[in-house]
Amino acid sequence: MARSKLTDSGDDLINDSGTILWSFVKGEQLEFPVIVNFITNPAGYTFEAVVVEAANTSNQTSKPTTIQPAGIQTVLTVRVPTNRGTWDAPTAYNTEDVILYNGLYYKLLSGTARVSATTPDVDPLWEVTVLNKIYLQFPKELGATWSVSATVGSPVYGFFELRVTEPNNSILTKTWKPVRGMVEILFSPTEIVADV
C-alpha cells in the first residue's frame, strides 16, 4: 500500500527522457522519424504536432522562456506510412508503403506501382521497419514570419509538442504528449540572397 507523503519524490510512473531541441537553418525543409513506442499500430490514432513562436528578442544570448503574445502558431504535417497488410507478389506497391512479410514489417524505399516477385527479405528496395513509426515534417517556411528573425550570432526559437490521441474508446480516450521541446532556427545566407 502507498504510505509515502504526497510531497515525497518517488518513482516516475510515466518515464520521460526529457525535452528535445530541433535545430534548423532558416529555409530548411526536413522530415524526421519518431517511433511511438507506446502503441503498436498507428491506424486510427490522431497525431498533432505544433510549433508556437517564442518571445524572441533581437540579438538574444539565451533561449526565451515564454511564448510570443499573439505569436505565429504552425501546425506540422505528421505522415503515417500506409500499411498495406501482408506482402503479396502480384500487388503494386509505392514508395513508403509498409507490408508484413514473414513476421517482420518492411517499407518500400522507392518505386511507383512496383510489382516484383522478389520477396522483401532479399529485395534491396525493401527495408525492415516498425509499424509504429511516424514522420514529422518541418516546412521551409517555419519561422519566416516570426516577429524576430535569426541573425548571424543569434538564433530564434519556438516551442514544439507532439500529441497522440487514441481512437474513440467507450471508457476513456487516452491522449499522450510524448515529444516536447524547442525548435531553433539559425541564420541562413541563402535566404537573403536572391535565387538565381
Q: Within a domain: residue 99?
A: yes
pLDDT tens, 64-116? 999 999 999 999 999 999 999 999 999 999 999 999 999 999 999 999 999 99
Confidence band of 14 (pLDDT split at 50, 70, 90):
low
Q: Within a domain: residue 15?
A: no
Q: Within a domain: residue 12?
A: no
Nearest to 114 by CA among 82, 86, 88, 132: 88
> Is 7 exposed, middle or buried (CB count within 10 Å of its CB: 0-12, 13-18, 19+)?
exposed
Q: What average pLDDT score do residues 35-51 get? A: 94
Q: Within a domain: residue 6?
A: no
Q: Within a domain: residue 14?
A: no
pLDDT value of position 158 = 96
Confidence band of 193 (pLDDT split at 50, 70, 90):
confident
3-state class (DSSP) for residue 189: helix
Residue type, 82: T
Domains held by the chain: number: 1
Q: Within a domain: residue 11?
A: no
Q: Within a domain: residue 48?
A: yes
| pTM listed for this prediction | 0.88
Listed in sequence order, the residues at least 6 apart from 34 whose beta carbon sits closer than 8 Å to its beta carbon are 133, 134, 135, 136, 162, 178, 179
Residue 85 domain boundaries = 20-71+81-191
Q: Within a domain: residue 76?
A: no
DSSP state at residue 168 = P
pLDDT value of position 66 = 95
